[in-house]
Structure 1
Amino acid sequence: MKGLELTLAIIKPNATKLPHAVQGIRNRIISSGFYVVRTKDVHLSMNEAQQFYIEHKQKFFYDRLTSFLSSGNIHVHILAGTNAIQMWRQLLGPTKVYQAKVENPTSIRALYGVTDTRNAAHGSDSLLESIDSAAKIGIVCPHIFQATIIVQGTYNGKYTRVII
């Protein structure tokens, strides 16, 4: 898988409750050329949701966001592809659903999002954030992957080296 990048993709509770939304999002993932490396369906506790979004703790929407993420099942995917982070975020569209409907009406958030919090899906900003977030919700464990990819860099001000 040389030249491929990993990213974390999460289908949020509002979308997982709708079979047509789940199928539509998964179809977009596959038709966009992603490889699905790992998939896990989970129901996060409030504490897990708070840890997942810890970087937003001081923001006004933190409580609403963490309550929502822990309100139902989420589908978590680790995707691989060329420029996977950028491609996934492009498929998602803008975070704000109204903006997505205007600027990118065929995006996942425009099609399946309801509000800025209930915007159907999550995408990480960087590879290190993807790995960190995936570890927080237990989708990345040492026994899951062979040591084939080494990620180095800084994340949250700390030097990080992750082997998955």
Structure 2
Amino acid sequence: MEPDSYHRIYVERTLALIKPDAIHRSEEIEDVILKAGFAVLQNRKLQLSPEQCSDFYADQYGKYFFPNLTAFMSSGPIIALTLARSNAIAHWKSLMGPVNSTKARETHPECLRAKYGTTDLKNALHGSESFDAAEREIKFMFPNSVIEPLPSREETEEYLSKHVNPTLVRGLTELCKHKPLNPCVWLAHWLMKNCPNMPQIVVEEAEDKK
């Protein structure tokens, strides 16, 4: 398997928020999200209190816009979404576009903030900045869900190298030898039969104790 293929199969999560100013366009936005190749793992509509907004945006505390930010984010309902796909954080940030919606309309007119936002504060959407931020924000918005940590890219590559590639290479080699009429079905059956993670059950005949 080529190194680039590891990046194609690596799945990441990010948090997306549809803010109060864009919630009336949520169906359109969610449709764009799905067409962009994201899987929606969790979806929740809620309204945060000013105190909850302060906790969520704790890393922005002390900045001049912080009071307006928390007031705006608690002014009406929002929709929280856990999104997943390869490089989800970067892809969602790119789909949203620049933070300032006015500038976004000049530089990235096709992005979501250009279409649905109005100012730098009322910019329609939120996305996690990093892997660590995504984990924290997802847990904040979905406190009752159990979210198992995803393996790192290095762990994924190591697992594929040790446990997937050797079996797949054997299966493809056998496929070339047999040349079945339906190669996909044949390979699927072969992989099920030869999966290294499946216990091999050996049935031994009982000895005749006559």
Q: TM-score, normalised by structure 2?
A: 0.65
Match of 2:40 in 1: 36
Does the Cα contact within 8 Å between 2:14 and 2:131 map onto a contact in 1? yes
Does the Cα contact within 8 Å between 1:45 and 1:70 map onto a contact in 2? yes
Q: Partner letter of residue 38 of structure 1?
A: Q
Larger relative contact order (Cα-Cα within 8 Å, sequence gap ≥ 6) = 1
Please list, as runs of the form range in 1=range in 2, the aligned pairs for 1:57-68 lying within 5 A after superposition.
57-68=61-72
SS in 2 for 1:149: coil
List runs of 5+ in structure 2 lacking aligned partners: 1-8, 153-210
Match of 1:131 in 2: 135
SS in 2 for 1:13: coil
Match of 1:77 in 2: 81
Is 1:111 the equivalent of 2:119?
no
Is 1:122 the equivalent of 2:126?
yes
**2: CA distance between counterparts of 1:150 and 1:58?**
34
**1: CA distance between counterparts of 2:107 and 2:115?**
12
Is 1:95 the equivalent of 2:99?
yes
SS in 1 for 2:22: helix
Is 1:50 the equivalent of 2:54?
yes
**2: CA distance between counterparts of 1:140 and 1:130?**
13
Instruction: Flag the structure with larger Rg.
Output: 2
**2: CA distance between counterparts of 1:117 and 1:85?**
21
SS in 2 for 1:76: strand
Match of 2:162 in 1: none
**2: CA distance between counterparts of 1:12 and 1:150?**
30
Structure 1 residue 23: Cα displacement: 1.7
What does the per-residue CA deviation read over 1:43-95, in whole Å, with 9 as the maximum and x for residues that have no partner?
00110000001111110000000001111111000000011001000010000
Structure 1 residue 130: Cα displacement: 1.1
Which has a greater percent of strand? 1
Identity over aligned pairs, percent: 34
Structure 1 residue 135: Cα displacement: 2.0
Q: Partner letter of residue 149 of structure 1?
A: L
Structure 1 residue 134: Cα displacement: 2.1
**2: CA distance between counterparts of 1:148 and 1:46?**
29
Does the Cα contact within 8 Å between 1:40 and 1:76 map onto a contact in 2? yes
CA RMSD of aligned residues (A): 1.9
Match of 1:158 in 2: none
**2: CA distance between counterparts of 1:56 and 1:148?**
25
Does the Cα contact within 8 Å between 1:51 and 1:136 map onto a contact in 2? no
Does the Cα contact within 8 Å between 2:100 and 2:120 map onto a contact in 1? yes
Is 1:15 the equivalent of 2:22?
yes
**2: CA distance between counterparts of 1:114 and 1:148?**
35
